[in-house]
Each structure stands twice: as C-alpha cells, then as structure tokens.
Amino acid sequence: MIHLQPQNRKITFIKRKLFFSIVFLGFINATTVGKKTLPTNTITSPKLVAYNIPYLEKDFVGFKEALAFKESQGKYTAVNTFGYLGKYQFGKTTLLRFKIYNTKAFLNNPELQEKAFKALCKVNKWILRKDIQRCVGKTINGITISTSGILAAAHLSGAGNVKKFLRSNGTLNFSDAYGSSIESYLKKFGGYDVSEIEPDRNARI
C-alpha cells in the first residue's frame, strides 16, 4: 500500500476540488443557455427618438402658422364655444366684411381661410398704419413693439382696441373671454417679418 506524503495529499485534494468546481460551473452554464440576464446594477432607460419638427422661419408664413396654432391648433374645422370659426378663429361679422356668408363652406375651404386671413392682415395694417409708424421699436410695459405683434393683437381684439392700448402707452389693455390679452399677443408674436403684407383699406379675397 502506497502512503502519500502530507504535501502530496494536499496537492491531490486541491486538484479534486478544482475538478469538481469546473464540472459544477459547466452544469450551471448549460442550464442557463438561451436565457437573457441583466447585471444586477444595470439601469434601463427609454430610447430617445428624434422627431423632425419643422422649424418656422420668422417670416409671414411663420407668423400666420404660429398664430393659427395659438388660435385653433391649426385646425381648419375648429369652432370655439363662442362660435369663432376655422384655423384663425374668425368672427361672423369679420367674414361678412369679406362677403363670406356660408360658414359651413368656409370651414371646409382651407384656401379661402388663408386668403381671408391675409386680407384681414392688410386691412388691419392700413387701419393701424400711423400707430405702426409711431410705436414700432418702442417699449411698452416691458414689451418691444413690432409690426407683427401689432397685427396679432389686432387679430385678437380688433384694430380699435390695439389703437387704445398703444395710444394710452399700455394703460388700456384688453383680454378676450379666454384670458388672452393684447400684451400677451404683442409679446408672443413679436419679431416676425410681415413686410410682404401691404396696407390695404379695401382688401378683398
């Protein structure tokens, strides 16, 4: 009978332990094939998706689209609780000025709505021509006055109320039933280039 020295016994024991450890790990790996696991410290986050949002230039197109979004979210068929109509929320009295009598047909005619908005801008620019000349570039109640801001405010409240606001140096303000004010429109829609809109007292569609 062969007797192993203590040192040899220790080596043999280590070899056996290592062998059984390798076999055990192989068994564990074999039973987890195909399973997807995440490290315990891994934090998963939603993927960020880049959307192509069109950039609006600071020109008349940018001006009218920004104003339309504020008025109706850009919806041609929108009608608010007070009966204002379309993408730019026209009142029926304003439509009569442009000889538009059929409101249902108006709501279903995007081209007519665009023409009506441009014509109204021309009329308002003519009515407010002197105020534009006097006030553009000035600061009233912390707001730098611009032609586009004036036209937007006129669309909200009517040219007459904008005149009162400007000529009172901001003392006589106006807000509609939803709380939108001349001041807010002067600020929000200021700085657009609306030079393509010519003042025209008798603008037609």
pLDDT at 16: 60
Amino acid code (one letter) for 33: V
Q: What is the DSSP letter of 139?
A: E
Give the number of C-alpha atoms closer than 13 A to the C-alpha of residue 60, restricted to the C-beta side. Answer: 11
Alpha-carbon distance values, 160 to 68, 105, 129, 138 (Å): 21, 29, 12, 19
pLDDT of 127 > 70? The answer is yes
| Cα angle, residue 88 at apex, residues 82 and 91 outer, rounded to 5° | 40
Torsion of CA 12, 14, 20, 22, to 10 degrees: -120
pLDDT at 18: 54
Put residue 119 in one of left, alpha, beta given phi > 0 → left and psi -120 to 50 → alpha.
alpha
pLDDT at 14: 53
Question: Which residues 6+ apart lie within 8 Å of 89 measured at CB?
Answer: 71, 72, 78, 80
Average pLDDT rounded to a whole number, residues 114-128: 98
Q: What is the pLDDT of residues 134-183, one digit of tens each?
A: 999 999 999 999 999 999 999 999 999 999 999 999 999 998 888 899 99
Q: What is the pLDDT of residues 36-94, one digit of tens each?
A: 444 444 333 344 334 444 567 899 999 999 999 999 999 999 999 999 999 999 999 99
